[in-house]
Amino acid sequence: MAQTTPNHTQTVSGWAAHDSSGKITPYIFKRRENGINDVTIKILYCGICHTDLHHVRNDWGITMYPVVPGHEITGIITKVGSNVKNFKVGDRAGVGCLTASCLECEFCKTSQENYCDQIQFTYNGIFWDGSITYGGYSEMLVADHRYVVHIPENLPMDAAAPLLCAGITVFSPMKDSNLVELPGKRVGIVGLGGLGHVAVKFAKAFGHHVTVISTSPSKETEAKDRLGADDFIVSTNAKQMKAGKRTLDFILDTVSANHSLGPILELLKVNGTLVAVGAPEKPFELPSFPLIFGKRTVKGSMTGGMRETQEMMDLCGKYNITCDIEVVKPNKINDALDRLARNDVRYRFVIDIAGAAKF
């Protein structure tokens, strides 16, 4: 365990779940000393991701308790290792989902570390020294500088935090499909939640015509008036779905609820692409006819590499893109997780780690 590893001598206050009830309680643990390749970060804010909910409740059967969640981390660097040249004390820094990878494979060498076979995550992973990783629901973090990004000065640290997961998750497939550099496409965003609302902001900033596809008619005003979407399709409305057939070049599906891809694929033009970033519990229903008769492509995508994450963060600074958030104190983490399970948030919870209200 991390707290028994010899060089883990720094005592840290944090918040952890100890069993599948998922209840978060204060937790004192140990972190490693700052090594030659490390930076130490005083954590200011940490977003609450749906992945956190799955881990604390052991929904996927892989949780190593106690688990300190959190992989949408922003803070200030307080110490740098001797090999670190790209960060200095006082820098605004962010840490996302990745904490380690092999550094040698084709993916690591092309800054696609997120696809490395030996990738380890910011929490509930195994670091190079054999210790279990603990995430951002804590007051400080020691991270290898190769997995840390700079936060632009003009972005608020709280609203920037979810960009480290939600932001890069939707940015990466847009980058992969040349939507960042080439404007003028017709882009569909399925789902207007934590991921979808950021995807709308990106697509509009990059110069595209954006259609939000949702099961909730009540979200149309929000999508258009607040986020700038051009069109809105209610996916349960057969007339609207028919009118939208073959109108979109690219669709990003952010929905994690079980659903069929067939009707959504019909919205794509011939040669169109659908990228899935949501993770439903059951396999997608994928009818063959919409694929065959439209020469369409279905792909998946997960987060992004470190170079891509820094590019995303810099573009967020350029276009002043942040997440729409609700800030909570650490003593309200359990309430926030319960509300997240009910999708009762618009659109991301962020914990004020440095806030005064503790348990």
- The DSSP result for 303-320, as a single string, is S--HHHHHHHHHHHHHHT
**What one-letter code names the amino acid at 45?**
Y
Q: What is d(CA 239, CA 283) in angstroms, rounded to the nearest whole number?
A: 27
165: tokens are 């997961």
- Check if the beta carbon of residue 95 is closer than 8 Å to that of residue 147: yes
Distance CA 195, CA 337 (A): 17
3-class secondary structure, 161: helix
Domains in the chain: ranges and CATH = 8-165+324-352 (3.90.180.10), 166-300 (3.40.50.720)
Tell me the per-residue pLDDT of 278-328, one tens digit each, with 9 for 90 and over. Answer: 988 889 999 999 999 999 999 999 999 999 999 999 999 999 999 999 999
Per-residue confidence (pLDDT) for residue 5, from 0 to 100? 63
Strand order in the sheet with 231-234: 231-234, 209-214, 186-190, 248-253, 268-276, 297-300
* Number of neighbours of residue 262 by Cβ within 10 angstroms: 15
d(CA 193, CA 208): 20
Report pLDDT digits (tens) over 196-250.
Answer: 999 999 999 999 999 999 999 999 999 999 999 999 999 999 999 999 999 999 9
What pLDDT sits at residue 357?
54
Six-digit token pair at 354? 């440095």
Determine contact, residues 321/31, Cβ cutoff 8 Å.
Answer: no
Q: What is the mean pLDDT of the chain?
A: 95
For residue 77, which amino acid is it? I
Strand 92-95 versus strand 149-150 pairing type: antiparallel
Check whether 187 has a pLDDT greater than 70.
yes
Q: What is the pLDDT of residues 7-60, one digit of tens each?
A: 899 999 999 999 999 999 999 999 999 999 999 999 999 999 999 999 999 999
